[in-house]
Amino acid sequence: MNTHSISRRQFAHLLGVGAAAAIVRPRITIAKEPATVPAPAKPGVVRLSANENPYGPSSKAHDAMKNAHGICNRYPDEANDVLIDKIAKINDINRDQIVLGDGSSEILKLCAETFTGPTEGKLVAADPTFESILEYSKACGAEVVKVPLTGSYAHDLPKMGASAQKGLIYVCNPNNPTASITPKNDLRDFIAKTSPATMILVDEAYFHYADSPDYESVIPLVKDHPNLIVARTFSKVYGMAGLRCGYGVAQPDTIKRMHGFQMFDSVNIMALTAASASLDDADQVTNGRKMNDDARKFTLTELGKMGYKSIPSQANFIMFDCRKPVVPIIQAMKEKDVAVGRLFPAYPNHMRLTIGKQAEMEAFVSAFKQVMA
C-alpha cells in the first residue's frame, strides 16, 4: 500500500467530523466541449426501478465530503483504515476480517473470481436473485446452477447444498428481487452443515430494513466458519448508491485470498469518508427505516384495495403479482413517467417496485390505476 506523510490523526482533523464523509467526482472526459453530468432521467420521471434510497446520504456524510475536498490529492489509505476500524467495532470483529469494495458489487465480483471457475467450482444461486454474481461467475468460466425459491419465497437451501461441489453458494438475504427472507434457523443450520470445501456468500445488502423476528445477520457466525463470507453495502439505507462503497466480512485467510484479485485503492476517498461519517449518524438508519415502512405500508394498502397480492417484504422494495405479463405494464408505466423494475423471467407476472418517498408512491398508485383500468 502507499505511504503518505499525512497521519490518521491529521486526516480525521481535516474531515472535521467523527472521522469521515464523501461525494462523487465527475468522470474525466476528453472532449472539445466542456463535459457535463447527464441527468439520471428526464425531468419529472418517478424513479422506482433500482432500489435506491430516495432520501440520499446523511447530512454528516455531506459535511464530511465537503471537508474531504482538501485531501483528494492523497491516496485513500488513511480513510480506508478509519472506515475499517469503525466497521470492525460495530460488528465486533477484527479488522483483518474486513475487505472494502467499490460497492458490495465488488465484493461479489471478488468472490466469483476467487471461488468459482473451471478449477475452483460452480456457482449455485437462487432463481430469481440478484444477477450480477451469476454474470461474474460466467465470465470466470464457471458453471452456474439456478435453484428456484421455495413456495414461501425462501432459498431452497437443501437443494442448493446438494447442487454444490466446492465452488460458491450465493444467498441473498433479504433476497432481491422478491424482498423475502430465508429464516434464520434454516440458514444457520445450512451454514453449519455445509462442507468447508464449499464457500458460502450471504449478501446482506438490505439487512438494515429487515425487522422480522425470523431474520438475523450471519456476521457473528463468521468466526466459526472459514467458508462463510458476508457482503454489506452503503448503497441502500445509507443512500450512497452513486458513491460506491461496500465491504465483505470473512476469516483472515479468506480475505487474503480475495485481496489477490483486488485492485489497490478501489474505493475513492470521498466514498470512504462519506461511509465513515454515515456510521456516526444513528438517525440515518432509524429515520430511513421508518420512512420506508410508512411509504411501503401505504403502497401495499393501495395495491390490496385493488386486489393485488405482494410477497412479504423485508426491504426497501416490494414484488407483487400483476396477474398478467408484466412487460407491457412496465412499458405503459414508463409512458406515464413512472419507472419500475425490469422483468425477472422466473416470475413473469410480478413487478418489482422500489419504495420511494410518499409523493412518489402516490404518483405510482395513480399511474398504475390508469394502466390497469
Can you tell me whether residue 350 is helix, strand or coil?
strand
User: Are 65 and 273 in contact, with CB atoms under 8 Å apart?
Assistant: yes
Q: Which pLDDT belongs to residue 26?
A: 31
Return the CATH architecture of domain 282-372.
Answer: Alpha-Beta Complex (3.90)
Determine the Cα–Cα distance for residues 26 and 70; give it in Å rounded to an integer: 16
Instruction: Say how many C-beta atoms besides its own lie within 10 A of residue 305's C-beta.
Output: 10
Q: How many helices (H) and strands (E) does the chain have?
A: 12, 11
Residue range 243-263: average pLDDT?
97
Q: Which pLDDT belongs to residue 44?
A: 86
Residue range 11-26: average pLDDT?
37
Determine the Cα–Cα distance for residues 94 and 108; give it in Å rounded to an integer: 21
Determine the Cα–Cα distance for residues 96 and 107; give it in Å rounded to an integer: 15
Can you tell me whether residue 39 is helix, strand or coil?
coil
pLDDT of 62-73, one tens digit each? 999 999 999 999
Give the DSSP letter string of 115-174: H-BTTTB-EEEEESS--HHHHHHHHTT--EEEEE--TTS---HHHHHHH-SBSEEEEESS
User: Are 191 and 218 in contact, with CB atoms under 8 Å apart?
Assistant: yes
- From-to residues of CATH 3.40.640.10 in the chain: 71-278
Q: Which pLDDT belongs to residue 42?
A: 58
DSSP-H helix ranges across 35-146: 59-68, 77-91, 104-115, 132-139
Percent of the chain past pLDDT 70, that is, above it, reads 88
Q: Which pLDDT belongs to residue 95?
A: 97
pLDDT of 138-196, one tens digit each? 999 999 999 999 999 999 999 999 998 899 999 999 999 999 999 999 999 999 999 99
Q: Which pLDDT belongs to residue 165?
A: 82
Span of 12-16, 72-76, 234-238 with lowest mean pLDDT: 12-16
Q: Which pLDDT belongs to residue 107?
A: 98
Per CATH, the number for 71-278 is 3.40.640.10
Residue range 223-229: average pLDDT?
98
Percent of the chain past pLDDT 90, that is, above it, reads 87
- From-to residues of CATH 3.90.1150.10 in the chain: 282-372
Phi, psi of 24 (to 5 degrees): -75, 135
**pLDDT of 234 higher than 50:** yes
Q: Which pLDDT belongs to residue 19?
A: 36
pLDDT band of 14, cuts 50, 70, 90: very low
Determine the Cα–Cα distance for residues 47 and 58; give it in Å rounded to an integer: 20
Average pLDDT over the chain, rounded to an integer:
91
Residue range 208-229: average pLDDT?
98
Q: With left for phi above 0 and alpha for psi between -120 and 50, is residue 260 left, alpha or beta?
A: alpha
Determine the Cα–Cα distance for residues 31 and 85; give it in Å rounded to an integer: 41
